[in-house]
Each structure stands twice: as C-alpha cells, then as structure tokens.
C-alpha cells in the first residue's frame, strides 16, 4: 500500500475543522486515518538496529537509514563495529529514555569497549513529514586515547528509474557538512543535510593515502541491491578490509597513531555513484562532538530549516512526551517514574515495520499420535507481507510474535489507545482469507531471518499460539463501550495533535467502522483456531457427572514429549506420556477469551444473531472448564488425559502453576464462583507459588520444579503476574458476594504481590540498567533475555494504572 505524505495545508484545514466540530459531531474517518498515517509515517522502525529509520507502509521505494560506530584507534576496531543490536556487544546500556512514536525521543548508549557515551535525539515535525536526528558523543573515560568513528548509511530503494539519492553539491572529498537530495514516488522530493555542531576530527598521524584522512568527513556512493542494504556492516568491513590489505602490502609497519585513517572508507575500486551512501566522521574524543542529520520533504511547509529550529523541536518534544506520560500514568515516586517511563519508551521504541516473504511448510502432515519433534522440511517462500508490530526484544527477538503481541498492546493502549489498535489491525490483516491462519512468528525477509535459528524460521498452518490479540481487543472494546457515556473518566488528553490518540475509545462510530472491516477476518480466524485445536471428548463423556459440551474441548496441536511450544509456555509440564485424547485447560481458556471478544465485537456491530451464538459458546467454555478440568482433590484447574487402567478413565494432570491459574487470570470464572478461594489460597502459598518477587511459574512442590531448562518451571514471568493482579482487581475490588476470609486474603495477596514485583524489577533495573525476560524465583535477579521490554513492560501498568491496594 502506497502512502504519500499529505500536503500540510490540508492537515491544517483538517485540524481546524476538527477542533471546531469535535464536540458536536463524530470524527471525520478519512481525516482520522490521514492523521494516523502522517503521525506514524517516520520512526526508527528498524527494530534490530541500534538506530535505524525507515517509513511505514512504503514497500517499493523506501528510504533506509542506519548508524554504525567504532573506536578506530585499535586494530580490532572492525570487530567492535556496532550496527545491529546484539547481546554479545555487552553494552552497559542502550535504549530510549523517553520515546513516543508520533513525536520522537531520546536514546542513550553506553559502550565501554568503544569508550563512548552516545546520546541520540530523534524528533519529527508536527505534520510528520520531516525529521531530525542529533548524535552527541563523549568519552566514558576521558583519560583514555580513543576516537568515535561514526558511519551513517542511507539508501533510496527502488533503483534509479523512479527514485534516486545523490549528493547535492560537487562530490568533493572532505566537506564537513554534506547535503543530499532524493526522490521517491511515495515520498516525492526530499533533502538531507548533515551538519556538524561541535567536535574535533581525529588529525593525529599522517594519512597513508590522500583518500584516507580521518581529519575530514569521508563520503562514498555506490549501488547496493535493495535486499542487501541491511548488511551495510558487512559491506563496510569488506571495503575497509580490502583497503587495509592494499596498504599493508606496500608498508611494512603502520604507526598505531595512524590507525583511524586506515579505518577510513574509500572508493578504491572507482564504483560509479549509486543510491547507497556511506558517510563517515571520525572524532577525537579529547572533546565531545555533536552533529545533526535533518530530513526535509519539499512538499511540507513545516521544514526544519536549521539546527537551532531542531533544538527547539527537541525541547518541545521532550516536554510533550513527559507531560503525556504524566497524564496517562500517575506515579508519585520519582525513581519509579523514571523506571516506568524508560521501560515504556523501550517497548514503543521497539515498534518496527517489517516487509518481506515468510517461509511456510504446508506439505508436512501432522500425525496425531506422533509426539516426536516435527521437522518442517518443505519450506516455501510466500508473500511478500507487511507487519507493523512491537517486538519482545530488539537484541534477541526483533520480529513479530503473535503470543507476545497481545500483552504488548495491553501496555501500549494505556498510553496511546489508537496506536495499539493500529498495530492490532496490522496483525489482523495478515489473517489468510481462505484458511483464517496467521503465523505464530512473523519472520519477514532476510534481515529478520538473520536473527532466527534456522530450525525456527519455518511456519506451519497447523500450529497455533495463545490468541492474546483477542485478549487485548476484548479489553479495548470493554474500555470503549464504558467510555461512551463518560469521555472524561481518564482526564482530558493534551490537545497538541489535530486528533487525540484515543479517538477509537471516545468515538464509537469510528470504532464501529474499524470493527466492521476486521470482523469477517476474525470469524475466519476463530474458525481456524477452534477447528485446528479441537480435542476429542468421547472417551470422557461417560465418566463425568455433568453434561459435557463436546465442541468446547481443545488441545495444542504440535506438542512433543518435552515441549508444548504452541502453548507459549514451552517446557511447562504436561501429561507423560502424551496422548492423542489429552485436553489442555489453557487451550480451552484461550478459546474462552477469543469467544468473549467475538461476542463483544458482535455487540458493537449490533449483530444480534452472532452475539447470541458467541454468548452461548462462551457459556459452554466456562462450564467445561469446571466440568472437565476442575480437580476437586487438588482444588485447581488441570489438563486431563486418558488412563485406561483406571475406572474413572479421566486422569487429571495437575502441575500447579500458571496453567492452573489461567481461567482465573483471564476472568473466565464467575464472580460468585466458590472455586475462587482455592486459587487465592494457591497464589498466596509461599510453599507453592508465592515468592518475594512475584508468582513463580510452577509450584515449588511439583516434581518438575527447577528441572530441565527451568524456563516455565520456576521463574517469575511478568505477563502472567500482571493478568493475575488485574484479575484480583476484577474479582475483589468491589465484590460483596465473596466470603470475608477469602476477600481479606485476596486483598492482602494483591498488595504484597504488587509491591514485590515493583520493588524487585526496579531493584534489578537500578543495578543492571535493563528489564529481563523473566526473574529468578529464588533471588529475584533478571534471567533469560536481557533488555526484554516486551511483555515485561507491563510493570508500567502495575505501577501506574493498577490501584495500590484493593478496597
């Protein structure tokens, strides 16, 4: 889909018209969508780069930008060249301190090995058409001899017929300030200027070649295929490596003081100019440096005309984002506020736009009775597809995850409701028209595949994941419906955009238009999920006291003896040995969430027949949770399997932990259920799940506790803890039907659990500077992937949105 930048005059007129009439009539749908496209057009959408910019929904001729850096005073400089985010770089810190994808933000990078503290400011003009980046650097250790050699690269994709990117002034070597001009069908004409503000170029030692002078800005233009722009680091290493070989072959010894010049890029092969540009600046860290990169679209009337104007944009943007955060999250503790804002900023700073093909195996057949690892050995490229998505971790998981994304959106929607819907809609658009399937991981193109082990690159339409997107959608619909009669319940949003970022929540007409477009695909998706994961109940029917609803029983297809990857809780204990007739309580619970969401959408669209159908299914799901999966002996929900040697035949597979809690956590129990007390007891029991850092994933008394990978067999995961806290609010904040003993225990549990999670995550962040994938259940220390600001960012909701205690 091609998106042209809109004429600013139209935006001004549209904004004026809206402000005049927003209280008397519904929002202009076309105008709202134009605003959304404009305000989200540019951003650092290359999630896997430390700093990489591209436009959203421009697929044929996107402009691509990236940043690399190194300390070129050492022979091993190229080995420490930073580009794609990598845990092995072991940076002391990297990430956004403040960020809003509609405005911009500030990112800090502490690279001890390269002895540089980088600060990157990125902000956009109000019309969304133009942007600037200010790169500032200073030494971490001022006594250490070092440089920061920064390499910017940019490419105007699409070849030279319909697009180009060329240097504006004569291509004279060594000009400190560089200007380029570009053209692309989707963006029109644009200019780029790179201007120094301060700093000293490295000038020690004599250049070994006229084109190898680190005391000047180096520029090189060449042609790079569009699908290889992302390997700019490899290209740079190859070009510089060849240059070094030529130098060393003609010189016996190179004075170390000249190393920075040796690592300067040059066009030794006389490549003709192309759309790809390297621009290298090597600063002596005896003094801090600062320079700007400014992009201006010629059709915009809000161009960034100077660095002083950009300075004003930075000041305005930082204040604006801070005010918006304070307006959304009311956090009194200043250090907790800093922690929460940085964590949210890194979640939103990881939002990426992905475009490319995916690998799908539609040939391999699944044998219901085969539980060995399934090899997807018949991949075919399909697409290209496009996705606008958060990522769990820029370093380790820079791609879209279906199971993670719903949790991401539970957080994003609290800051920018409409942004959350925009991301959700992108996922929904990928639901296949004929089958209703969407991949559990969206790994689009070679750039995304480069971060995925080969065994996990191929997707299969038989394998599902928890439909958390429908969980988020259900929450959004509940909020929107509740807001219809009380638009001011969350406080007035700052009126600095022509539209608020809560239009879908405040304007039911707009929500209905969007929901109508989505609903047919969601019907397909619902049918695919329930049909593909439906289990068999015939063996159990004669051995339960109540009537089973045979169509509402499910299991995860694709589990093995050791793992159930489709469930999302990979190594959580399941029935041993596996059986084709086993039924999984969490699969049924997630179907309940899907069904509830479909019922709410049908209600919004006034589809009475569909609403009644899904209401009946939802009722059946809730009843089956109790009929099939409640174990009165262990007083919790359990998977079930077949035991041919038992009179009962049905065997409960009880491993008390997150799966036991999901019907509660997903709010599928009735508020007056007598079973609530047992789950409160389970969560409160320090001999089982309760720890000083959150709820452990598996009971300490379980035989599988701390065995195998110890992934979902002990550690504290914030996504499930958040659901449990939110469910405690739902069931016990204003519940007068529960017995007083359970009510008191639930409120005590809530207060201590909330406090334990906040204090521990803050402690780890204050010490390490990062949020983690999960937390050790014994020490509270971060474990798993570092800088995991995916669903762990839900701590921001825990601090700033959930009440401090239940009343």
- More confident: 344 or 161: 344
**Distance of alpha carbon 760 from alpha carbon 521, whole angstroms:** 41
| Vertex 94 angle, CA 92 and 99, to 5° | 150
DSSP code, position 330: -
Q: What is the mean pLDDT of the chain?
A: 91
Query: Would the pLDDT of 372 be above 90?
Result: no
Residue (of 401, 324, 354) closest to 52 by Cα position:
354
Query: Would the pLDDT of 378 be above 70?
Result: yes
Split at pLDDT 50, 70, 90, the class of 4 is: very low
Q: Are 715 and 777 in contact (CB under 8 A)?
A: yes
Looking at residue 142, its pLDDT comes to: 93
Average pLDDT over residues 532-550: 90
- The pLDDT > 90 percentage for the chain reads 80
Query: Would the pLDDT of 17 be above 80?
Result: no
- 482: number of Cβ within 10 Å: 11
Looking at residue 576, its pLDDT comes to: 94
Strand 178-184 and strand 188-198: the pairing is antiparallel
SS3 label, residue 655: coil
Looking at residue 686, its pLDDT comes to: 98
Query: Would the pLDDT of 366 be above 90?
Result: no
Please name the residues in contact with 713: beta carbons below 8 A apart, sequence gap of 6 or more. 571, 572, 573, 697, 698, 702, 704, 705, 706, 707
Split at pLDDT 50, 70, 90, the class of 486 is: low
Looking at residue 18, its pLDDT comes to: 32
Average pLDDT over residues 325-340: 96
Query: Would the pLDDT of 19 be above 60?
Result: no
- pLDDT tens for 468-485 read 999 999 998 888 777 655
Query: Would the pLDDT of 227 be above 90?
Result: yes
Q: Which residues are catalytic?
A: 570, 773
- pLDDT tens for 665-696 read 999 999 999 999 999 999 999 999 999 999 99
Please name the residues in contact with 231: beta carbons below 8 A apart, sequence gap of 6 or more. none
Report pTM.
Answer: 0.93
Average pLDDT over residues 179-195: 96
Query: Would the pLDDT of 377 be above 80?
Result: yes
Q: Which helix (H) or strand (E) holds 746?
A: helix 740-768
Bridge-partner residues for 282, per DSSP?
A: 149
Cβ burial of 28 (10 Å; 0-12, 13-18, 19+) is: middle
Looking at residue 175, its pLDDT comes to: 66
Query: Is the previous residue joined to 384 through a cis bond, with omega within 30 degrees of 0?
Result: yes
Split at pLDDT 50, 70, 90, the class of 112 is: very high
Q: Which helix (H) or strand (E) holds 529?
A: helix 508-532
Query: Would the pLDDT of 496 be above 70?
Result: no
Average pLDDT over residues 16-25: 35
Q: Which two tokens stand for residue 551?
A: 């169509």
Cβ burial of 525 (10 Å; 0-12, 13-18, 19+) is: buried
Looking at residue 626, its pLDDT comes to: 97
**Distance of alpha carbon 113 from alpha carbon 127, whole angstroms:** 39
- pLDDT tens for 236-248 read 999 999 999 988 8
Q: Are 445 and 357 in contact (CB under 8 A)?
A: yes
Q: Are 732 and 677 in contact (CB under 8 A)?
A: no
Query: Would the pLDDT of 490 be above 80?
Result: no
Average pLDDT over residues 141-159: 94
Query: Would the pLDDT of 632 be above 60?
Result: yes
Average pLDDT over residues 313-338: 96
- pLDDT tens for 695-751 read 999 999 999 999 999 999 999 999 999 999 999 999 999 776 668 899 999 999 999
Looking at residue 23, its pLDDT comes to: 37
Query: Would the pLDDT of 5 be above 70?
Result: no
Looking at residue 9, its pLDDT comes to: 30
């Amino acid at each position: 889909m091609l998106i042209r930048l809109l004429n600013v005059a139209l935006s001004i007129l549209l904004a004026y018209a809206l402000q005049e009439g927003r209280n008397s009539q519904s929002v202009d749908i076309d105008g709202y969508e134009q605003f959304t496209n404009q305000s989200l057009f540019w951003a650092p959408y290359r999630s896997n780069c430390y700093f990489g910019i591209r436009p959203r929904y421009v697929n044929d001729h996107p402009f691509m930008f990236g940043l690399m850096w190194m300390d070129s005073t050492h022979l091993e400089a190229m080995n420490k060249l930073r580009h794609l985010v990598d845990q092995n770089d072991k940076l002391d810190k990297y990430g956004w301190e403040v960020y809003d994808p509609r405005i911009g933000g500030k990112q800090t990078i502490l690279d001890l090995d390269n002895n540089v503290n980088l600060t990157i400011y990125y902000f956009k003009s109000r019309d969304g058409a133009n942007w600037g980046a200010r790169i500032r650097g200073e030494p971490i250790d001022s006594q250490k001899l070092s440089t920061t050699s920064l390499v910017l690269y940019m490419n105007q994709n699409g070849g030279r017929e319909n697009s180009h990117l060329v240097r504006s002034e004569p291509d004279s070597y060594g000009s400190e300030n560089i200007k380029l001009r570009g053209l692309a069908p989707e963006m029109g004409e644009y200019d780029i200027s790179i201007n120094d503000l301060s700093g000293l170029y490295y000038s020690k030692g004599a250049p070994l070649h006229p084109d190898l002078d680190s005391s000047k800005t180096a520029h090189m233009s060449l042609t790079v295929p569009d699908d290889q722009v992302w390997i700019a680091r490899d290209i740079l290493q190859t070009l510089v490596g060849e240059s070094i070989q030529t130098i060393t072959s003609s010189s016996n010894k190179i004075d170390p003081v000249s190393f920075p010049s040796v690592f300067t890029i040059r066009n030794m092969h006389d490549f003709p100019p192309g759309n790809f540009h390297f621009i290298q600046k090597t600063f002596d860290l005896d003094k801090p440096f600062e320079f700007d990169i400014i992009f201006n679209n010629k059709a915009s009337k809000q161009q960034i005309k100077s660095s002083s104007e950009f300075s004003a944009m930075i000041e305005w943007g930082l204040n604006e984002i801070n005010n918006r955060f304070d307006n959304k999250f009311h956090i009194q503790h200043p250090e907790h506020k800093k922690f929460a804002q940085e964590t949210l900023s890194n979640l939103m700073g990881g939002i990426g736009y992905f475009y490319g093909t995916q690998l799908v195996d539609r040939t391999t057949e699944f044998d219901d009775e085969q539980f060995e690892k399934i090899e997807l050995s018949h991949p075919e490229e399909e697409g290209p597809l496009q996705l606008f998505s958060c990522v769990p971790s820029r370093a380790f998981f820079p791609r879209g995850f279906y199971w993670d994304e719903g949790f991401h959106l539970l957080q994003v929607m609290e800051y920018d409701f409409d942004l959350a819907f925009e991301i959700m809609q992108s996922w929904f658009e990928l639901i296949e028209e004929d089958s209703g399937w969407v991949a559990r991981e969206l790994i689009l193109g070679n750039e995304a595949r480069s971060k995925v082990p080969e065994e996990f690159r191929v997707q299969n339409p038989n394998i599902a994941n928890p439909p958390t997107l429908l969980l988020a959608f259900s929450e959004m619909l509940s909020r929107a419906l509740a807001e219809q009669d009380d638009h001011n319940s969350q406080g007035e949003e700052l009126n600095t955009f022509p539209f608020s970022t809560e239009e879908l929540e405040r304007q039911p007409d707009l929500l209905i238009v969007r929901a109508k477009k989505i609903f047919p695909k969601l019907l397909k998706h619902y049918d695919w999920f329930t049909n593909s994961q439906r289990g068999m109940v015939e063996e159990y029917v004669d051995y339960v006291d109540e009537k089973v609803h045979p169509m509402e029983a499910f299991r995860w297809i694709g589990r093995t003896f050791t793992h159930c990857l489709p469930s999302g809780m990979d190594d959580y204990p399941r029935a041993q040995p596996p059986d084709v007739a086993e039924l999984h309580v969490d699969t049924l619970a997630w179907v309940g969430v899907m069904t509830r969401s479909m019922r709410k959408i049908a209600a919004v669209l006034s589809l009475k027949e569909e609403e009644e159908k899904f209401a009946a299914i939802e009722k059946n799901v809730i009843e089956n949770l109790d009929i099939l999966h409640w174990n009165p002996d262990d007083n919790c929900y359990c998977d079930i399997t077949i035991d041919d040697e038992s009179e009962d035949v049905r065997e409960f597979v009880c491993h008390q932990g997150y799966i036991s809690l999901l019907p509660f956590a997903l709010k599928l129990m009735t508020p007056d259920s007598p079973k609530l007390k047992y789950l409160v007891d389970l969560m409160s029991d320090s001999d089982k799940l309760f720890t000083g850092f959150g709820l452990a994933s598996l009971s300490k008394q379980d035989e599988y506790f701390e065995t195998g990978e110890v992934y979902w067999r002990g550690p504290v995961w914030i996504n499930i803890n958040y659901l449990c806290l939110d469910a405690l609010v739902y069931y016990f904040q204003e519940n007068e039907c529960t017995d007083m003993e359970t009510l008191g225990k639930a409120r005590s549990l809530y207060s201590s659990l909330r406090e334990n999670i906040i204090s521990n995550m803050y402690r780890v962040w204050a010490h390490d500077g990062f949020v983690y994938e999960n937390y050790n259940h014994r020490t509270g220390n971060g474990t798993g992937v570092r800088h995991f600001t995916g669903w762990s960012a839900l701590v921001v909701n825990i601090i700033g949105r959930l009440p401090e205690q239940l009343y």
